[in-house]
Amino acid sequence: MVAEDMYELGSKKSTIRTIFEYGRQRAAVVGEENIFDFSLGNPNVPAPEFIRQAILDIVQQEDPCAVHGYTVAPGNPEVRETLAQSINERFATKFSGGNLFMTAGAAAAITVCFKALSEPEDEFIAFAPFFPEYQCFVEATGAKLVVVPPQLQDFQIDFAAFRQRINRHTKAVIVNSPNNPSGVVYSLAVIKELAAILEEKSAEFGRTIFLIADEPYREIAYDGVEVPYLSQYYKNTLVCYSYSKSFSLPGERIGYIVIPNEITGFSKVYGAIAGAARVLTHVNAPSLFQKVVARCAGMPSDISIYHENRDLLYNGLVAAGFSCVKPQGAFYLFPQALEEDDRAFCEKAKAYDLLLVPGSDFGCPGYFRASYCIKTETIRRSLPLFARLAADYGK
Amino acid sequence: MVAEDMYELGSKKSTIRTIFEYGRQRAAVVGEENIFDFSLGNPNVPAPEFIRQAILDIVQQEDPCAVHGYTVAPGNPEVRETLAQSINERFATKFSGGNLFMTAGAAAAITVCFKALSEPEDEFIAFAPFFPEYQCFVEATGAKLVVVPPQLQDFQIDFAAFRQRINRHTKAVIVNSPNNPSGVVYSLAVIKELAAILEEKSAEFGRTIFLIADEPYREIAYDGVEVPYLSQYYKNTLVCYSYSKSFSLPGERIGYIVIPNEITGFSKVYGAIAGAARVLTHVNAPSLFQKVVARCAGMPSDISIYHENRDLLYNGLVAAGFSCVKPQGAFYLFPQALEEDDRAFCEKAKAYDLLLVPGSDFGCPGYFRASYCIKTETIRRSLPLFARLAADYGK
């Protein structure tokens, strides 16, 4: 009667959703302040004041027909030009507005790329741990997601495992750095090695292998770490960006795809991206917020709270006996669970009202994700509970 | 190298797009005021003042994390409840927030429905003349669009032709009233007959045939004509609504699907809709505008300009010798072309810088569409040119 696969996708609650709802129920019983919900990736930093001011200025000063009217499908040309120049200033690239395609956030951006590129029997490669929605987004195009197992000591790329999985069916490789869930930023050396392998294999197989850079966390990086701009190292790169995290606008669905001129078959790729956006019914990215992000191009993200939270939670967990790769970006910690079965571990954590997401959900069993985009005070009060949980495991 | 079907969809310019770009080029030569572009369906009435005020109030008064944060996938529960009550007040329905699923406009709403319902070998039926994007939206789900030829004397439904096309593969029937491009509103008698046939055929084939009501023009109706609320006449109706036209917000992508409790397999259908929205990467409808339309629920659309434009253009064309069904809604006129070949006719109209869309694009050769959502003065100045065009045809 309905499409069963759609029903499955829409009716099965995700682990994160289930945890979130459990948290809401527990909060009703024990009180909001006694629930320590580390499950969600919803930014708790409010959108910056300059965003509010930009909305007010546009709505008060500009012609409503221009503000709220359709834009052309790739997005307002002036907006795209402004954003391209802003990217150029920061990353020494040479883009123009014609290299950008505005999208409803990064989820739409990556899926438009998958749909635009996917041909029968194609495979897309992701590196574990990875954002679990990749699976259904790739499979919805008819392609297959191939996962490279994690390199546990540092969550960089296991190139031996990668070489075993790249083949004549590989259409693209997805890189998400700073990474959800590990918080790791892929180093320049890693990016260069990845690019070299992609060059080598594209030549060997006689077909273009694309790199899809999923970059919603680009601006959320600490300690002065460099986040390489991937199109500078591999020409067949599509950069997918979102303002969800950097400007705390996840509900507004605003981002873009960069399609560099140097990409093989630029007009084919750009055309296919336009076609994919059309059939996915992303008619245009929301028009007011196109103008808002252009007004705020190049403005800094306020990551001071995340930075403080990272240090507090990381140091607290390490002191309690957890082992964890120190994240350099995003707002997640991805420590080792205190028993092999990460789902069992997360269940036990519930006894202290600590709500954590099993690493299995990210293709990385034996670990757990703790989002620290929550109130600093909540993290502070959670630390004794993490210590008691660790003590239960003899730490 | 890319998905060829996506490239085709994204790189081939639509007729409307081609006409629009031709108009831009001609305007550069002969001056903006000498181009009479009737090709686009972009509202020229600005968004009402209450929309501007709602944006300002929300942005100035509410917590930015709540305004710009993710909502749950079906949309902000308070917003849905408010909109449901507003629908109930106007149409004597009994919906609650749980019957609504917020979407990025009507294009997303209908496509989410197609994707949610579509099973192998399914067919969707549309009545010509029809919105041409139905074709690629339906085909993208793997289903087939079956078109019922137009009933030329009034553009209501040709039920004999419909009965010939409904069969065991029919999954749903799409109704767009007020209609783009004809401007016709389906009468209550027509809706009742349609509902009776759908009941009869659902019973005969032993499967639910859904009705998809595509209603972006619901509020744009003249002369006190009744626009029946279809779920009141056929229980297996999904109502797809958009604020693009009623509140002049086409660029903001905001609308909803109504899934009535009475629908067969409510939870299956609702689940499949959620799954379809997920894989089409409509993560949530834009969050600020969810709140904006809830604040403005039930506020009137200002259609006085469209009404004036309709009368001016309709009377002018009829006086010039055109024959045309008088539209009762939307902002389109759909007159008969003055020669059999509507494309040739529209080419000849260009000699007077009258830019019209051939009816063939809407599955109705021999006619043309003229959008009157443009400046009244432009219409006034175009009338002598239409008269000269008609004179060339001996009218």
pLDDT digits (tens, 9 = 90+) for A73-128: 999 999 999 999 999 999 999 999 999 999 999 999 999 999 999 999 999 999 99
- Name the residue facing A70 among B60, B64, B251 (closest C-beta): B251
Percent of chain A with pLDDT over 70: 100
CA distances from B68 to A51, A57, B39, B62 (A): 11, 17, 35, 10
Test A278 with B136 for CB contact under 8 angstroms: yes
Round to whole Å and give the CA distance between A297 and A88: 11
Test A9 with B44 for CB contact under 8 angstroms: no
CA distance A88 to chain B (A): 27
CA distance B334 to chain A (A): 23
> Which pLDDT does position A40 carry in this prediction?
84
Looking at residue B319, its amino acid is: A
CA distance B335 to chain A (A): 26
Write the CB contacts of B18 (distance below 8 Å, at least 6 apart in sequence).
none
CA distance A191 to chain B (A): 23
Looking at residue B131, its amino acid is: F
Write the CB contacts of A253 (distance below 8 Å, at least 6 apart in sequence).
A104, A105, A108, A285, A286, A289, B104, B283, B284, B286
Cβ atoms of B272 and A7 within 8 Å: the answer is: yes
Chain A's closest residue to B116, CA to CA, is A3
CA distances from B104 to A305, A393, B101, B211, B254 (A): 32, 48, 10, 20, 5
Q: What is the DSSP secondary-structure string of A87-149?
A: HHHHH-----GGGEEEESHHHHHHHHHHHHH--TT-EEEEESS--THHHHHHHTTT-EEEEEP
Chain B residues within an 8 Å CB radius of A248:
64-65, 68-69
Alpha-carbon dihedral sign for residues B52, B58, B60, B66: negative
Cis-peptide, bond into residue A74, ω within 30° of zero:
no
Test B283 with A44 for CB contact under 8 angstroms: no
Test A1 with B274 for CB contact under 8 angstroms: no
Q: Cβ atoms within 10 A of the Cβ of A223, count?
A: 10
> Which pLDDT does position A147 carry in this prediction?
98
Q: pLDDT confidence of A171, banded at 50, 70, 90? A: very high
Chain A's closest residue to B117, CA to CA, is A2
CA distance B301 to chain A (A): 15
Chain A residues within an 8 Å CB radius of B248:
64-65, 68-69
Cβ atoms of B253 and B51 within 8 Å: the answer is: no
- Name the residue facing A59 among B52, B105, B272 (closest C-beta): B52
> Which pLDDT does position B224 carry in this prediction?
94
- Name the residue facing A7 among B5, B10, B271 (closest C-beta): B271
Round to whole Å and give the CA distance between A262 and B158: 53
CA distances from A155 to A129, A324, B13 (A): 8, 10, 45
Residue A69 has what DSSP assignment?
A: S
**Minimal CA–CA distance to A75: which of A101, A112, A104, A113?**
A101
**Minimal CA–CA distance to B386: which of B346, B358, B328, B330?**
B346
Q: What is the pLDDT along chain B (395 residues), one digit of tens a residue?
A: 899 999 999 998 778 878 888 988 898 999 989 999 999 878 888 999 999 999 999 999 999 999 999 999 999 999 999 999 999 999 999 999 999 999 999 999 999 999 999 999 999 999 999 999 999 999 999 999 999 999 999 999 999 999 999 999 999 999 999 999 999 999 999 999 999 999 999 999 999 999 999 999 999 999 999 999 999 999 999 999 999 999 999 999 999 999 999 999 999 999 999 999 999 999 999 999 999 999 999 999 889 999 999 999 999 999 999 999 999 999 999 999 999 999 999 999 999 999 999 999 999 999 999 999 999 999 999 999 999 999 999 98
Task: Estimate the crossing angle of helix B287-295 against helix B49-61, to 10 degrees.
Answer: 120
- Name the residue facing A278 among B9, B208, B272 (closest C-beta): B9
**Minimal CA–CA distance to A246: which of A180, A293, A311, A185?**
A293
**Minimal CA–CA distance to A257: which of A233, A280, A231?**
A231
Say what the pTM is: 0.96
Chain B residues within an 8 Å CB radius of A71:
251
Q: What is the DSSP secondary-structure string of A157-178?
A: --HHHHHHH--TTEEEEEE-SS
Interface test with B, best of A4, A6, A267 (most B CBs within 10 A): A6
Alpha-carbon dihedral sign for residues A305, A308, A312, A315: positive
CA distance A393 to chain B (A): 36
Phi/psi of residue B131, nearest 5 degrees: -65, 115
**Minimal CA–CA distance to B356: which of B311, B377, B386?**
B386
- The beta-strand segments (E) located in chain A are 36-37, 100-103, 123-127, 144-148, 170-175, 210-214, 237-242, 255-258, 332-333, 354-355, 357-358, 368-371
Round to whole Å and give the CA distance between B51 and B299: 10
Round to whole Å and give the CA distance between A67 and B250: 10
- Beta bridge partners, B325, equal none
**A212: three-class secondary structure by DSSP:** strand
CA distance B383 to chain A (A): 25
Question: What average pLDDT does this structure show over A7-32?
Answer: 88
Chain A residues within an 8 Å CB radius of B111:
279-281
Test B9 with A105 for CB contact under 8 angstroms: no
CA B189 to chain centre: 21
Test B271 with A46 for CB contact under 8 angstroms: no
Looking at residue A336, its amino acid is: Q
Quote the tokens at residue B59.
């942005």
CA distance B184 to chain A (A): 24
**Minimal CA–CA distance to B214: which of B273, B250, B257?**
B257
What mean pLDDT value characterizes chain A?
96
Round to whole Å and give the CA distance between A251 and A202: 38
CA distances from B279 to A181, B39, B59, B84, B103 (A): 21, 33, 30, 26, 13
Looking at residue A147, its amino acid is: V
Round to whole Å and give the CA distance between A48 and A296: 10
CA distance A250 to chain B (A): 5
Chain B's closest residue to A11, CA to CA, is B271
Q: How, if at all, do strands A237-242 and A210-214 pair? A: parallel
- Name the residue facing A1 among B3, B59, B268 (closest C-beta): B268
Test B2 with A70 for CB contact under 8 angstroms: no
Round to whole Å and give the CA distance between B209 and B12: 33
Chain A residues within an 8 Å CB radius of B68:
47, 51, 248-252
Round to whole Å and give the CA distance between B232 and B238: 11
Test A287 with B117 for CB contact under 8 angstroms: no
CA distances from A317 to A20, A34, A105, A389 (A): 22, 19, 33, 11
Chain A's closest residue to B284, CA to CA, is A251
Chain B residues within an 8 Å CB radius of A140:
279
Chain B residues within an 8 Å CB radius of A9:
274-276, 278-279
CA distance B56 to chain A (A): 6
Cβ atoms of B240 and B213 within 8 Å: the answer is: yes
Test A1 with B281 for CB contact under 8 angstroms: no
pLDDT of A230 over the 80 cut: yes
Test A10 with B278 for CB contact under 8 angstroms: yes
Task: Estimate the crossing angle of helix B105-117 against helix A4-11, to 10 degrees.
Answer: 110
Quote the tokens at residue A35.
């629930």
User: What ipTM did this prediction achieve?
Assistant: 0.96
Chain B residues within an 8 Å CB radius of A56:
56, 59-60
Test A60 with B56 for CB contact under 8 angstroms: yes
**Minimal CA–CA distance to B248: which of B284, B282, B216?**
B216
Round to whole Å and give the CA distance between B164 and B172: 15
Q: pLDDT confidence of A299, banded at 50, 70, 90? A: very high
End-to-end CA separation in angstroms for chain A: 54
Counting one residue from chain A and one from chain B, the pairs whose CB atoms sit within 8 A come to 262
